[in-house]
Structure 1
Amino acid sequence: MNKYLVVLCLLVAVSGCSKDSVEFSIDNPTAAPISVTIDGTSYEVQPRAARELSLRAGLHSMESATTGKLGFVVYTGTRGGLINPTFSPYLIVNEVYATNATTAKGFRPGEQTVQLDGVDFKGPFVLSDALFIDRTWSYGVHEDFPREIRVGRDSKGNIKSKVFSKDDFIRYVEEAEGTTGLYARSRKATPPPQRHLPQDAPLPTFADPEMESKAAPLKDLYRRYRQATTADEQAALQKAYAPAVQELLPLYAAKARSASREENEKYNELITRVGAALGWSARVVE
């Protein structure tokens, strides 16, 4: 999709999270009601509806027909997001708001191709069917993109995002592109995906002993963060992340030019994976 909203500027307030409770939404995009039990409390969620709940940082339990019984940990100070017990696909769409078409080009978000039932959609989209989908959007599943937003006096535009259920995403894209019915005509009969919880792969190991030694504190932080179950422990590790990266960075900068492509890719993977972990709102306990 190549759609940009060109409108006048306005101001949008973003609410934050309290230190040790995180806001989630149990979403049900299906045509049948679902039941999800969290910490012994049953949440009945009607079709194409959601239930909001606040969870304190730490260990929790969940049970549903699709997930079975599992434990999960909530991380303090994070933005929360969707609990997706049906493992349905959700799509995050980025849209540009600008004062004119010329300015909009300067805010053009990155594009990628996502696939639904064998049909490709290219645009500023991100696809996820994870059990926990961390909030990176401005507008939720049951909110609309506004026609206008407010920004500061010196700004000429901004990028905002919204998360869509599969059906709403298809309708949104087809209406925007004037291709209503294209997905229904093009979709292929595909077997249902195998639902499984993601397995954690080992962090990369550097061939350079000095790099491996210097990276050890960052790797240890990642390991400890995965196991952290109290708000205080999680917060302390969050604060330790930047200093750990700063300890490794000068050595990497000195070696990057002479290092192999593989070693440089290992560094990028390490930084990306540890940084992503610090953004988790919730994670299933192995």
Structure 2
Amino acid sequence: MNSVKKRLIPLLLVALLAGCGDRSASYSIDNPTDKPLSLTIDGKAYEVAAHDAESVSLSAGEHTMKGDVVGDIRFISYYRGRGGIINPTLGDYVIYRQSFEKVNTKSPGYQGKLDTIVLDGVPFEGTMKQSDALFIDKDWTYGVDEELPDSVTEHDNGLNNTVHNKVFRAKDFIAFFEKNADAKGYFEANRPKNPSPVVHKLTVLSPTLPPIDDPALEKLAEPLRENYAKYLKAKDASDQEALQKENFTLSMAFSRGAMAINDKTRLSPESSSQIDAFQRAIGEAYGSTALVEP
């Protein structure tokens, strides 16, 4: 039963904490390359210099974009979106999780699980995640052009550490990583001699949620499927807000129903796996600031 609860809780959190804000979101059109970048949003041309960025505020609703890499697309910016980076080159970014320990503490506290990312064929391990999405949702304190400080001053939260995220362009992250004495030259030393070309593709969410084979669970899932399909097409801020609220209510009902089913007949590993996939898909949609239209 505990395993089922653990799988269902994230779905509720996504519905409840999908973001904070209002009917517009602030984005940064970022250019990590050595050449100027041209991008058109809603008919307005943006020229971004090499290794530079330009701010843009987008209202909740449908927008258009045209660029050399992404092509000619339509996308939806969502109500309560957090904003973030618009990545028209589809290049790699790294969101690094930095733990700051309390002075004189003997226990550092939880710093986050280690993950492995790969940049140009070279693996890096640490508390970080990688993204090449067109829209990278903001979950950092320090942006691409802000330095990660050596220390921070905050109110005492009763913990032995506090954690802040910093987002890096790929090249900047490599330079940051190699500041450690034992990591100097790591990237070139481990870079494949004949690396395979990295292909970055525009991510478009599936118009339908993953299947659930269990008939009872599927009956519970049907209202969420309808809600999800509407949300991917919702172009009005008021409609988006209403669907977000509805999603929370439906998610609560799904959780209660699934746990009741599990109490009567323990769910199979296959059903649990399908619930995971179902939740991740909903979480990706409702946790996104903006999405390319299917």
User: Under a length normalisation based on structure 2, what TM-score does the superposition of the two structures give?
Assistant: 0.86
Post-superposition offset of 1:145: 1.3
Deviations 1:183-226 (A, max 9, x none): 12221232432332224344232222221111111111111111
Check conservation: 1:22, 1:55, Cα contact below 8 A.
yes
Counterpart of 2:180 in structure 1: which amino acid? A
Post-superposition offset of 1:242: 1.7
Q: Does 1:69 align with 2:77?
A: no
Q: Does 1:285 align with 2:293?
A: yes
The residue that corresponds to 2:163 in the other structure is 159
Q: Does 1:225 align with 2:228?
A: no
Task: Between 187-196 and 69-78, report the one with greater CA deviation.
Answer: 187-196
Check conservation: 1:92, 1:161, Cα contact below 8 A.
yes
Alpha-carbon distance in structure 2 between the residues aligned to 1:271 and 1:195: 25
The percentage of aligned residue pairs carrying the same residue is 35
The residue that corresponds to 1:211 in the other structure is 217
Alpha-carbon distance in structure 1 between the residues aligned to 2:191 and 2:105: 33
Q: Does 1:260 align with 2:268?
A: yes
Post-superposition offset of 1:276: 2.5
Q: Secondary structure at the match of 1:145?
A: coil
The residue that corresponds to 2:150 in the other structure is 147
Which residues of 2 match residues 92-131 of structure 1 at below 5 A?
92-99=95-102, 100=104, 102-104=106-108, 106-131=109-134
Alpha-carbon distance in structure 2 between the residues aligned to 1:114 and 1:177: 21
Counterpart of 2:197 in structure 1: which amino acid? P
| Residue in structure 1 matching 2:135, options 100, 110, 132 | 132
Deviations 1:75-131 (A, max 9, x none): 011111111111110000001012145332x22211111111221101011011111
Counterpart of 1:240 in structure 2: which amino acid? E
The residue that corresponds to 1:184 in the other structure is 188
Alpha-carbon distance in structure 1 between the residues aligned to 2:32 and 2:77: 23
Deviations 1:110-159 (A, max 9, x none): 11111112211010110111111111111111111122223333434211
Alpha-carbon distance in structure 2 between the residues aligned to 1:213 and 1:112: 36
| Residue in structure 1 matching 2:279, options 241, 251, 271 | 271
Post-superposition offset of 1:177: 5.0
Runs of 4+ in structure 1 displaced over 6 angstroms? none
Alpha-carbon distance in structure 1 between the residues aligned to 2:180 and 2:105: 17
Q: Unmatched 5+ residue regions in structure 2?
A: 1-18
Check conservation: 2:48, 2:54, Cα contact below 8 A.
yes
Alpha-carbon distance in structure 2 between the residues aligned to 1:204 and 1:71: 24
Quote the RMSD (CA, aligned, Å): 1.7
Change (3 A) 1:131 1:245: same
Post-superposition offset of 1:272: 2.5
Alpha-carbon distance in structure 2 between the residues aligned to 1:235 and 1:177: 50
Deviations 1:8-27 (A, max 9, x none): xxxxxxxx964111000000
Q: Does 1:23 align with 2:23?
A: no
Alpha-carbon distance in structure 1 between the residues aligned to 2:66 and 2:105: 49
Q: Unmatched 5+ residue regions in structure 1?
A: 1-15
User: Under a length normalisation based on structure 1, what TM-score does the superposition of the two structures give?
Assistant: 0.89
The residue that corresponds to 2:257 in the other structure is 251
Task: Between 63-72 and 251-260, report the one with greater CA deviation.
Answer: 251-260
Q: Secondary structure at the match of 1:198?
A: coil
Check conservation: 1:107, 1:159, Cα contact below 8 A.
no
Check conservation: 1:107, 1:158, Cα contact below 8 A.
no
Alpha-carbon distance in structure 1 between the residues aligned to 2:118 and 2:283: 27
Change (3 A) 1:117 1:101: farther
Alpha-carbon distance in structure 2 between the residues aligned to 1:167 and 1:44: 22
